[in-house]
Amino acid sequence: MFSSRTQRRKKKLLKKLKKSRTKKASELSGSQLAIAFRRFRKNKAGLLGLMLALIIFLIAFFADSLTTFPPLEPMGLSYDYTPYYLPPGTVEGAIATRDTGHLIYYISPDFPFQDGSFETPDFVLSQRWDVEEGWEFVSLLEGQPVIFGWWAARSTGEGILSQNLSSDENIDLLYTQIVFQVYLDGEEPTTLYVFFTYEDGTYSKTYEFNIDGNNTWVRMNEYFYLYPFNMSIREKIRNPVKISFYKDNNGSDILLDYITLYAGEYFQNEHIFGTNWWGHDLYSKLVKGSQVSLIVSIGAIILSLAIGLPLGLVAGYYRGKTDEIIMRITDIFLTLPFYFVMILVIMVLTDTPDLDNLIIELGITAEIIVVAVLVGLGIFGWMGITRLVRATIFQIREMDYVEAARCLGASNKRIMIIHILPNVLAPLIVVVTFALAVNIVAEAGLAFLGFTDASLSSWGRELEDGVRIVSVAWWPVLFPALFIITAVMSFNLLGDGLRDAFDPRLR
């Protein structure tokens, strides 16, 4: 008689056996890809790589909602009270307007305002940042009286435009004092009209001023109601106000100038990674920068594939002279020193005056740089793919199934696309994953060499910024480097895992 313990053991063993058997059966079913996938699932390092890679992609995808500060465009303005490169953990206030990115400036919570108050405002009006004309003496109509010097937001010196930031408790509207100067050349008294309109046209208001024309500057200091009652801050932010100034010219109004005021919201956040050389929130910039980094490296791979795959297929399948020519082109590209060529391109793009002007005229500097880096990486990245595809095809075309397909009447094109290409796919997936890692490093390298634009944020660019001040601050170097290392490592782990999964020797 068996003891109950032995019986139990036996049962357990049988159960285990059964489990392993069913597992084996399921392991063998499905396509090559399905099998590879199942094997990949058991690869811990590969899974880790996949997870990290997915996280990075998610970060890039949801970058806009993940940022804690609007990723700033460099302002080139120095506010004396804003310390650069704040260490991780510093809390700062900031003002964001509707078009986030047009953040006006950071405010240290403990910094006293011009008026001596320590109170942080909850609402600020500002002129749109990129309307540079607003800062200068501008006349829209030549020979006409000039309105100039619009200054939005809390002013520094002799406030030309300043606001009363506090709204009356009883009247929920913004009561703003706008100071403006008008030069009038006529002798006769004139009427000056000031129109307030919202962008979407839902609100408008007109003010009228009578001015004695006396050929001098007229300084006016008037209070305006910018927003109606019961308007929430969100709505105010959504509704920039356009203020137009008209002069009555014997019945026909003449537009003197206009200004658009953007409401901004004050908020306060922690710089978890500190700030960079410009005082921008490093975390937000890196999160946002993942988009450029990934777009460039993925785009470059797509370009490389578009060039390399057909060339490899053609070279591998037709062999002979075709192969010879394609391989020599590949060799030529392989001998070109990548960084040297790219530096030449930088010089051409940045130092040639004509092209420079062209870029400024087109106003797409950042995009051009992104595209240039993408194209550069793509053009220098296809050779490996061509060689791999060619070598794989050399191997596959000797397989009997290609011969068998030919025997059964399949055409060259059909054999290439139906029978050879799917078999090239597996090694290609692996190579593409590794290439992703290489491209991220190369993009960072190029940014580091200066192949970037001031308004661009990518991991490589942040690293480059950080290196400039590495002697005084460690975080602007460490965090971009961590992002790059994590991305490269995850893609490499993923590539390794995929290679193991597809490797026929393990099958």
CB of 395 to other proteins, least distance (A): 11
State whether the Cα torsion 464-284-485-383 is positive or negative: negative
Using the minimum distance from each CB to other proteins, give the nearer residue, 86 or 415: 415
Using the minimum distance from each CB to other proteins, give the nearer residue, 128 or 319: 319
CB of 328 to other proteins, least distance (A): 19
Using the minimum distance from each CB to other proteins, give the nearer residue, 405 or 449: 405
Using the minimum distance from each CB to other proteins, give the nearer residue, 32 or 269: 32
Using the minimum distance from each CB to other proteins, give the nearer residue, 143 or 409: 409
Under 8 Å between Cβ of 337 and 376: no
What 3-state class would DSSP assign to 138? coil
Under 8 Å between Cβ of 491 and 440: yes
Give dist(CA 484, CA 52) in Å, integer. Answer: 12
CB of 394 to other proteins, least distance (A): 13
CB of 502 to other proteins, least distance (A): 12
Under 8 Å between Cβ of 270 and 89: yes
CB of 427 to other proteins, least distance (A): 13
Give dist(CA 193, CA 257) in Å, integer. Answer: 11
Tokens encoding 123: 């609402």
Please give the torsion angle defined by the CA atoms of residues 453, 458, 460 and 464, in that order, rounded to the nearest 10 degrees: 50
CB of 383 to other proteins, least distance (A): 25
Q: Which of 506, 452, 299, 51 has its CA nearest to residue 464?
A: 452
Using the minimum distance from each CB to other proteins, give the nearer residue, 361 or 400: 400
Using the minimum distance from each CB to other proteins, give the nearer residue, 96 or 431: 431
DSSP 199: T
Greatest extent of the chain over all pairs of C-alpha atoms, in Å: 126
Name residue, tokens 């069913």.
22
Q: Footprint of other proteins on this chain (CB under 8 A)?
A: 28-33, 319-320, 399-401, 403-411, 414, 418-419, 422-423, 425
CB of 49 to other proteins, least distance (A): 25
CB of 445 to other proteins, least distance (A): 37
For 34-42, which contacts have Cβ atoms below 8 Å and span 24 or more sequence positions? Answer: 35/507, 36/426, 36/498, 36/501, 36/502, 37/501, 39/500, 39/501, 39/506, 40/497, 40/498, 40/500, 40/501
Using the minimum distance from each CB to other proteins, give the nearer residue, 5 or 24: 24
